[in-house]
Structure 1
Amino acid sequence: MGWGSAGNIFDPVARALVDAGVPEEQQEEVLTQVIRTLQEQDWDTEYDSLQDFRDKPGVVKAFANCGIHWDDLS
């Protein structure tokens, strides 16, 4: 069974980085580590969080680094 509530950790962190104007490259670096850590704990709702940030390139790249691509849903 996966961990669906990990978005409650990821989403506020990602939102804080975006809202603070952190450069995309740094967003990608930080969030890649967060995503990998959450995936190690069996996060299974990554696409829900990706959907909320699909217009934020730094966040999208972080997900891609971890094997999560919005296009996979098409």
Structure 2
Amino acid sequence: MTDFRDRHEGFRSQVPPEVREHMGAARAEMRKGFETFLPAEFFEHRDTARREMLLAWRGVIDAAIGRMDERKARP
């Protein structure tokens, strides 16, 4: 995770804090704008789909851990 932060530190040092604040505010306003013309069902469906994907990845990770544990248990 620190690698991600290191890669973006150059961006932070080159862009003034006021610009970053403006970008954050613009992003928040854009999200509010989406909420005005997209139906609530869209966001419910998006959240459900995101949850299903996370559960699928959990299954993949659990299976990989299970295989690792099985290999350790072998003599």
The structure showing larger relative contact order (alpha-carbon pairs under 8 Å, at least 6 residues apart) is: 1
Do the structures match in fold with TM over 0.5? no
Q: TM-score, normalised by structure 2?
A: 0.27
- Looking at CA atoms only, which structure, 1 or 2, has the larger radius of gyration? 2
Q: TM-score, normalised by structure 1?
A: 0.28
Task: Say which structure is richer in helix.
Answer: 2
